[in-house]
Amino acid sequence: MKVNYSNIPKIIIALDFYSKKEAMKLVDLLNPSLFYLKIGKEMFTILGQKFINELHKLGFNIFLDLKFHDIPNTVFYATQAAADLGIWMLSVHASGGKKMLMSAKKALQSFKKRPLLIAVTALTSLKQEDLKDIGIQISLQDYILILAKLSRDCGLDGVVCPGKEAKKIKLLCGNEHKIITPGIRCFNDSAFDQYQIITPKQAKTFPIDYIVVGRSITCSKNPIKKLNFIIQSMQ
């Protein structure tokens, strides 16, 4: 089957491993012209900047997903430090507020080729009752939309959000505001600790720019076969 990559969301592979050896077993099978890689807190803590440099040498674009959430000054310098690594995209938490988001945006002004700056709205593990636990009384959907609008107003490039909210966010923020959606699960996959999940086929029907695929692939006995299945289901 000939694959048309132009009419499906671009795929970011989450390298959620505890060792470089395990990560590279998968990386060595991937085409850097087709797939992006996500480095989160686990692998960055273990392997750091050196691992990112090695992946760059292989030709991969890197989404550094550290979800900065701190006082504006700290996020300013953390954002600059991340951008210095030559990454393609990085994340901050939208719930850090306007001043923090503006500080992150300002930190990238001096870069000729800056990374995309993406705001995490709500984790895909969150349920409505989780918001109530932290004193937020509005609906989860309204909360996500408020944070998405804030990210747009602060000049960020897009948001991480559950796939089912993508259409509303595009209508609210405009088509240029990028949407990155994790929680991608095939029909027979375990949801693990994710709650806001969608299938690859659903992802094709929503206005999503990038899907993040992690455990559906990394926990598979045949990750490339599973990745091909995900791609074909979006054709």
201 assigned to active site:
no
- In the prediction, which pLDDT does 9 show? 92
* pLDDT tens readout for residues 35-74: 999 999 999 999 999 999 999 999 999 999 999 999 999 9
Instruction: Give binding residues for substrate as ranges.
Output: 16, 38, 65-74, 124, 185, 194, 214-215
Question: What are the angstrom distances between the C-alpha of 66 and each of 31, 43, 230, 231?
Answer: 24, 10, 26, 27
- Beta bridge partners, 6, equal none
Q: For residue 185, is pLDDT > 90?
A: no
Assigned token pair, 69: 């959430």
Environment class of 57 (CB within 10 Å of its CB; exposed 0-12, middle 13-18, buried 19+):
exposed
Catalytically annotated residue among 10, 70, 168, 189: 70
Within 10 angstroms of residue 91's Cβ, the number of other Cβ atoms is: 27
Catalytically annotated residue among 67, 105, 178, 226: 67
133 assigned to active site:
no
Q: Identify whether the C-beta of residue 60 lies closer than 8 Å to the C-beta of residue 89.
A: no
65 assigned to active site:
yes
- 5-233 belongs to which homologous superfamily? Aldolase class I (3.20.20.70)
Q: Identify whether the C-beta of residue 108 lies closer than 8 Å to the C-beta of residue 155.
A: no
* pLDDT tens readout for residues 78-119: 999 999 999 999 999 999 999 999 999 999 999 999 999 999
Instruction: Give this prediction's pTM.
Output: 0.93
User: Domain-by-domain residue ranges, the chain?
Assistant: 5-233
User: Could you give the CA distance from residue 96 to residue 62 in angstroms, rounded to a whole number?
Assistant: 23
